[in-house]
Chains A and B, each alone.
Chain A
């Protein structure tokens, strides 16, 4: 009886060490990519293409948001963190020992997205002050900005999201600005887009590549003209709210990680980027 128990114990121990062995092997077989839902489609599609060429490598992609991605790579919970914003000073301080390194894989614009019903009713452009007033609760009805007499559903995002940082930087000059007029908080780009599409009077912040027939992006004022969030305007840099899409690693990437990042920044990766609706800037 005792022998059987001992045998079982050793068996389990063996199992465990094999499992640990797999997870801490020097040669990486699984690459974990976590973070921004803006960058995720690029990573997922690139992962599919890359895995076809390197059959032993598995690349696992999860969303969660830019903050989650940076936190994950900072703590060693992922090999690549995806971010649609820059790493903040606070994050740099938190992960000082890790030496976060970013690699630009693409570029994207952040649209002030509104329900297509409002857009089609005539609200096709907004000034920064108008957006600021909407988000701080001073403007409550679309009528005040030239639209129908309907209350505005102001949609905010979770505080760590890359899209929010970039948007708030543009509107309030503060990545952590509070939006007092907010009526709803969403997380991923999916959720944001769904909510704007479902409503007929919503405004939110969305990656420009995610706009569609139900969710239109207003043109923003730059100088004397209004610039729409089209691919051309983002590519040329005319659109005022642009951010780099980043893969963040802990230190310099080596081995298969480096290969994957090079792949995404290379020719095939670039075609994936543009097919997904984003842009790449040569020489970045």
Chain B
């Protein structure tokens, strides 16, 4: 009896702590929704901001964030796909595979603000793309590369060997194998990777605050060299105005919009993964 009671108490403590953790997460969400919701109206979403950001809506900020996200994935996805395919289809040596994995992994470990700074000097100054959405997209692309590649690679690794064996028995070249067998089965990994990459790019502030964003005066980029306003930097600046009620409401509204964008992306990736992935475990 004593043993059972101890077990139940321990179990209870674990449940409680888990519940407390969940509660904190929900509380975080709740605060953002509760404070951001009043700010959300159709005009807020569709109007440009004015008076140095303290008033007005989020139109160009939202657009700017989307442009950076899309640019990052458009640039990063082909590179990640090509690199992933190279490692899974062509490379046979274990050492080379480990080497590449180490490279990808170290890219992933770089603090994002360093990416912003170094990337700015490299792309913005040396390659003369300036403070622009292009520079930002390039930097973000490098940043999300490991995310996309990891997703593609893990999907490909889940492919049962027999698919490959059949392909090789039929005499397919590695590329034909990739195109006809691997990719059709593992495309969900690419889609998940792209979605997660988008979500990560949407959440990133430090990498773009020096390199792509303008706080006032920028709207729709007319060329590759224009900076864009973004939701992330908008929130950052408004967060410093914590005593001003209007700025605060706008900040929460922008945070809610950003959060919703990220949520939709991640939710979609989860749905894609669960519906299409191969159950290789359990």
Is B242 interfacial (CB-CB < 8 Å)? yes
Smallest distance from the beta carbon of B72 to chain A beta carbons, Å? 16
Contacts of A29 in B (CB 8 A): 222
Contacts of B242 in A (CB 8 A): 194-195, 198
Residues of chain B in range 224-250 having any CB-CB distance to chain A below 8 Å: 224-227, 237, 240-244
Is B217 interfacial (CB-CB < 8 Å)? yes
Are B128 and A23 in contact (CB-based, < 8 A)? yes
Contacts of A30 in B (CB 8 A): 225-226
Are B217 and A58 in contact (CB-based, < 8 A)? yes
* Chain B residue at minimum C-beta to C-beta distance from A196: B243
For the complex, give the distance between the alpha carbons of A51 and B219 in Å: 12
Are B225 and A23 in contact (CB-based, < 8 A)? yes
* Chain B residue at minimum C-beta to C-beta distance from A199: B243
Is A137 interfacial (CB-CB < 8 Å)? no
* Chain B residue at minimum C-beta to C-beta distance from A19: B224
Are B217 and A61 in contact (CB-based, < 8 A)? yes
Are B240 and A188 in contact (CB-based, < 8 A)? yes
Contacts of B224 in A (CB 8 A): 15-16, 18-20, 22-23
Are B217 and A59 in contact (CB-based, < 8 A)? yes
- Complex interface bits, A190-217 against B, C-beta within 8 A gives 1, otherwise 0: 1101110110000000000000001000
Are A194 and B216 in contact (CB-based, < 8 A)? no
Is B134 interfacial (CB-CB < 8 Å)? yes
Cross-interface CB contact of A60 among B50, B52, B129, B217, cutoff 8 Å = B217
- Complex interface bits, B182-217 against A, C-beta within 8 A gives 1, otherwise 0: 000000000000000000000000000000011111
Contact A22:B223 (CB < 8 A) given known A194-B242, A198-B243: yes
Are A190 and B131 in contact (CB-based, < 8 A)? no
Are A62 and B214 in contact (CB-based, < 8 A)? yes
Is A32 interfacial (CB-CB < 8 Å)? yes
Contact A197:B216 (CB < 8 A) given known A18-B224, A58-B226: no
For the complex, give the distance between the alpha carbons of A24 and B213 in Å: 19
For the complex, give the distance between the alpha carbons of A56 and B235 in Å: 29
Q: How many residues of B contact A (CB 8 A)?
A: 29
Is A77 interfacial (CB-CB < 8 Å)? yes
Is B130 interfacial (CB-CB < 8 Å)? yes
Residues of chain B in range 105-138 having any CB-CB distance to chain A below 8 Å: 124-125, 128-132, 134
Contact A60:B227 (CB < 8 A) given known A23-B132, A40-B52: yes
- Complex interface bits, B147-181 against A, C-beta within 8 A gives 1, otherwise 0: 00000000000000000000000000000000000
Are B243 and A58 in contact (CB-based, < 8 A)? no
Smallest distance from the beta carbon of A129 to chain B beta carbons, Å? 30
Contacts of B222 in A (CB 8 A): 29, 58
Residues of chain A in range 15-55 having any CB-CB distance to chain B below 8 Å: 15-16, 18-20, 22-24, 29-30, 32-33, 40-41, 44-45, 47-48, 51
Are A187 and B217 in contact (CB-based, < 8 A)? no
Q: How many A-B residue pairs have CB under 8 A?
A: 94
Are A19 and B243 in contact (CB-based, < 8 A)? no
Chain A interface helix/strand/loop/mixed: helix
For the complex, give the distance between the alpha carbons of A128 and B213 in Å: 40
Smallest distance from the beta carbon of A226 to chain B beta carbons, Å? 27
For the complex, give the distance between the alpha carbons of A24 and B218 in Å: 18
Most buried by B among A24, A51, A77: A77
Contact A61:B215 (CB < 8 A) given known A44-B52, A190-B237, A194-B243: yes
For the complex, give the distance between the alpha carbons of A44 and B54 in Å: 12
Contact A19:B227 (CB < 8 A) given known A41-B52, A44-B217, A61-B215: no
Cross-interface CB contact of A190 among B124, B217, B226, B241, cutoff 8 Å = B241
For the complex, give the distance between the alpha carbons of A195 and B129 in Å: 37
For the complex, give the distance between the alpha carbons of A21 and B146 in Å: 31
Contact A190:B240 (CB < 8 A) given known A19-B223, A30-B226: yes
Residues of A within 8 A of B (CB): 15-16, 18-20, 22-24, 29-30, 32-33, 40-41, 44-45, 47-48, 51, 58-63, 75, 77, 186-188, 190-191, 193-195, 197-198, 214
Name the 7 nearest CB pairs between A and B, nearest first. A19-B224, A23-B225, A22-B223, A197-B243, A191-B240, A194-B243, A60-B214
Q: List 27 A-B contacts (CB under 8 A).
A: A18-B223, A19-B223, A19-B224, A20-B128, A20-B129, A23-B130, A23-B223, A30-B226, A32-B214, A44-B52, A44-B216, A47-B217, A48-B50, A58-B217, A58-B226, A59-B217, A60-B227, A61-B52, A61-B216, A62-B215, A77-B131, A193-B241, A194-B240, A194-B241, A194-B242, A194-B243, A195-B242
Besides A24-B128, A47-B217, 19 more A-B contacts (Cβ < 8 Å) are: A16-B224, A18-B224, A19-B223, A23-B223, A33-B217, A45-B52, A48-B217, A58-B217, A60-B214, A60-B226, A61-B217, A62-B216, A63-B215, A77-B124, A190-B237, A190-B240, A193-B243, A194-B243, A195-B242
